[in-house]
A and B are shown apart, each in its own frame.
Chain A
Amino acid sequence: MSGTPLLSLAIWVPILAGFVVLATGSDRNAPLARMLSLIGAVAGLLVTIPLYTGFDMRTPAMQFVELATWIPRFNVNYHLGVDGISMPFVILNSFITVTVVLAGWQVIDNKVAQYNAGFLIMSGLLNGIFSALDGVLFYVFFEASLIPLYLIIGIWGGPNRVYAAFKFFLFTLFGSLLFLLALLYLFINSGGSFAILDWHQLPIGMSAQTWLFLAFLVAFAVKVPMWPVHTWLPDAHVEAPTGGSIVLAAIALKLGAYGFLRFSLPIAPDASHELSGLVIALSLIAIIYIGFVALVQEDMKKLVAYSSIAHMGFVTLGFFMFSAMGIEGALVQMISHGFVSGAMFFAIGVMYDRAHSRQIADYGGVVNTMPKFAAFFMLFAMANAGLPATSGFVGEFMVILAAVDYNFWVAFAAASTMIVGAAYTLWMYKRVVFGAVANHHVADLTDINAREFLVFVLFAIGALGMGLYPQPFTEVMHSSVNELLRHVALSKIQ
């Protein structure tokens, strides 16, 4: 497939589709807007398939590389490429976009064109982040992707949406502005290059590495989000419409984690080793403390939001133990979390659309009126709890295995909280789904329709497929992860 600019297509097909959808205008054309969005999203997914089928697993080098000058004045290039670490996320993101368009099909009836266009444009921008090999290009996509999500939360969100949208935007902008300064510092000190791969080779002194690492840490920790800068996430999730929550959980959170692998570890390896204790401590706090916080939530979306933070704690924990098992486990956890949290938010959205409540206390006995839904919800609740045979298990298990090698007590702390994870998810499930029909709202519920069924099946294929047969996901990562580890083991101090 050489010659076809696949990554450019993955970025620009959804964005162009977004503008076409915008052009349909007012809500009189809503059916047309929905149809065009679905076509755009599916087309966006199709162009990413060759990225997997044409991927060479033996090399850690960047593939499908595209290079064109963009702003020669600052030596900024339109430089794209993916390796085994980033490629799965491009596909995951394009896949999630399809589910998001389907998830909002009947639910969103206000400014349909703008809603769908927002998601399509964001999808392209997110693909841009994962495939950018130029610092400025990365940053531009990274920051531009805030705009659609800000609008989506603010326009279609819940009652407290304005607060949530502002908090989301300003928190993440704060992190990324320091990140921008780090990029400029690297640009000046690398003799005028914005190529991320050049920066990987750039020797940097220890104190500069520490500052760079901290700047990266702030930017990515906000995005992941890590304790203690996680407070924007529950607000954003609770207020966002279902589609917004799905994208936020499934993709946007992964950006921070991806940033650690693309920037922090290879550019500041010595500082990464030096400060790994800090990151591991923060990760464990996220896993344990946030796990307990999730346990007491009364709002289902908040509960899943907190559980996302705890799951992302496993990801950052996996990265900073510097073993292949840990990093691959963390990557698997990231992809799995994309399917599982996306499905959880969709499930909550399905209930919310019918009963207009997210409070656990307002439900009970849903299985009696929505048996098909209850079955799917069960599957994803189990996956969220990390039950074997679901994708949630694979990643967490790998990270815990790596942690045993690293330090027994870290592993002990991480592993014992899997119990908490099971507790909050299954307890919520029990209170919502089982028991007698709680009230007339629950009694009036109707089971999922064909569209919702389809979305659940899409998510289930991901979650179960990955749980039963994770190899197709892990084998593409091997060489890139090994190369990364080899690189991180070398000191950059001269």
Chain B
Amino acid sequence: MTLAEMQFQMPDLRLASAEIFMLLMACLILILDLFVKDRKRTVTFVATQLTLIGAAVVTFATSSGEIAYTFSNMYVGDLMGDLLKLLLYLTVIVVLFYSRGYILEREQMARGEYYSLVLFATLGMMVMISANHLVTVYIGLELLSLSLYALVAMNRDSVPATEAAMKFFVLGALASGLLLYGMSMIYGATGTLEITTIAERLYTGQADKSILVFGLVFLVSGLAFKLGVVPFHMWIPDVYHGAPTAVTLFIATAPKLAAFAMVIRLLVNGLIVLAQDWQTMLILLSVLSMAIGNIAAIAQTNLKRMLAYSAISHMGFMLLGMVTGVVGGDARFALNAYSSSMFYVITYVLTSAGTFGMILLLARGGLESDELEDFKGLNKRSPWFAAVMMMMMFSMAGVPFFVGFFAKFSVLQAVVAAGYLWLAIVAVLFSLIGCFYYLRVVKIMYFDQPTNTAPIVAPMDMKILMSANGLAVALLGIFPQALMSLCAFSLLRSL
């Protein structure tokens, strides 16, 4: 290669303008915060929210609906990515509103770094969503993970939080190692790190299958860790439980969207030819997750821990949609299956945000409110918020008319369509077991007498948002069509 051929080519920055905007703003806010004297850091808070709104505007404005690559094919812009990013901003905005009261009451957390870290994590997720290169995936993932480690540890004086951060970091590093090892194997077999090129080379059969499958095992293990499915779930309960609730809320929502995108990018965009192999692995992960997640959740007395196990089972259920895309080499069902998974993960994020938001709503005066006992007799204290929490619980249990039902419905439909009837039976039986602990939360709120009769004090914005969240769970449960077709359409234009 001569020097003339190595000319620097300016990449098309327009495609990645949302990421660039986010990076600039995150750095700016870091500096801006140095000059904020206000203990409540209202300026930082507002600037962060405006950044997210600005990113949404940029993403919306630059979305072409076509698949386009830039940065030497390391970055892809497509409709699925744009949709997930818009939902990501929305989730983060909601998370910040829910967390505000909680972090203001904790001195260690009420700092500008909180907002910058959240923005950097968001940037990491945006990079993951738009990655078309194994290194890009990894960079995005690490940016997210490192920000999250710091967020979990932010409440420095809290022993459980520090312990959780340590566990999260050690296990996260291990998972990153697994992922990198898998990536290197795939590089060895195909000679490229570009996801679309990997797919081409696999398709034309220019790759050594045995090395590939070997690498795939590590790749799937790394993904499973990030999704938090059994047997790579160990960190989830400890981190969810130990982290400050505001951070748990963040971990339990937005990264699920990014993890879903990562699964699509790596397994579907890159390794669809190996679908039979990774589907078999995912079936195992999925069934184990539903089993262990649902059964272990029954034994929990801490709501955050219970929801952690519930998250494991939900991610297992979500994976059911991913395993039914290709049946015997026939990809007819792919769109139906993957869009059902996407719908599932989006509705899960919506419900999860509401549930953790409710824990934050009840936590006041520097005290946590994350034990199941704390919800005793909520119906007496506030019928409306008890009803909102009840809607969340029934939605997670998959009872109509709440959106969780249609999420389960669409995934099960994909499973039955692909002919995996036994898998569907396993899934519904574990959902039945899972129903028990969601019902128990309803029981605690409605059938038990309150031990604490203090009325619920919360800022008006949070109350409004919480109510909107509850209504969204109910309304999407009655009119799921729009979101369902949005998922299907965006995937259709992106695969």
Contacts and interface: CB of A to CB of B under 8 A. Distances in A.
Interface of A: 25, 70-74, 111, 114, 136, 139-141, 143-144, 146-147, 150-151, 154-155, 161-162, 165-166, 169-170, 173-174, 177-178, 180-181, 184-185, 187-188
Nearest to A153: B447
A154 B485 contact: no
Interface in B402-420: 405-406, 409-410, 412-413, 416-417
22 contacts: A71-B481, A71-B484, A73-B484, A74-B410, A74-B484, A111-B379, A136-B409, A140-B400, A144-B399, A147-B399, A151-B442, A151-B446, A155-B447, A162-B443, A162-B447, A166-B439, A169-B439, A177-B432, A181-B412, A181-B424, A184-B412, A187-B416
Nearest to B410: A74
Interface in B422-437: 424-425, 428-429, 431-432, 435-436
B400 A166 contact: no
Given A181-B424, A181-B425, A185-B416, A147 B439 contact: no
B453 to A, nearest CB: 14
* Dominant secondary structure of chain A at its interface with chain B: helix
Contacts of B406: 71
Nearest to B418: A188
A185 B418 CA distance: 11
A114 B481 contact: no
A73 B447 contact: no
B432 A71 contact: no
A321 to B, nearest CB: 32
A114 B400 contact: no
B443 A140 contact: no
B488 interface: yes
Contacts of A111: 379
Contacts, number: 89
Contacts of B425: 178, 181
A140 B488 contact: no
B488 A73 contact: yes
Contact of B416 (A70, A165, A170, A184): A184
B447 A161 contact: yes
Interface on chain B toward A: helix, strand, loop, or mixed SS? Answer: helix
B421 A72 contact: no
Nearest to A169: B439
Nearest to A174: B432
A173 B398 CA distance: 11
B427 to A, nearest CB: 9
A143 B400 contact: yes
B358 to A, nearest CB: 18
Contact of B436 (A25, A70, A71, A170): A170
Nearest to A157: B447
B428 A181 contact: yes
B401 A144 contact: yes
Contacts of B485: 72-73
A185 B400 CA distance: 19
Nearest to A161: B447
Contact of B417 (A72, A139, A177, A188): A188
A254 B439 CA distance: 25
Interface centre among B406, B435, B446, B447 (most CB of A within 10 A): B447
B481 A154 contact: no
A162 B429 CA distance: 22
Contacts of A185: 416, 421
B413 to A, nearest CB: 5
A59 B341 CA distance: 45
Contacts of A147: 394, 399
B450 interface: no
A165 B447 contact: yes
Contacts of B417: 188
Contact of B447 (A25, A139, A154, A169): A154
Nearest to A146: B399
B429 to A, nearest CB: 8
B383 interface: yes
A25 B442 CA distance: 19
Contacts of B188: none
A189 to B, nearest CB: 9
Interface in B355-408: 379, 383, 394, 399-401, 405-406
A188 B416 contact: yes
B54 interface: no
A154 B424 contact: no
B447 A144 contact: no
A154 B401 contact: no
A425 to B, nearest CB: 33
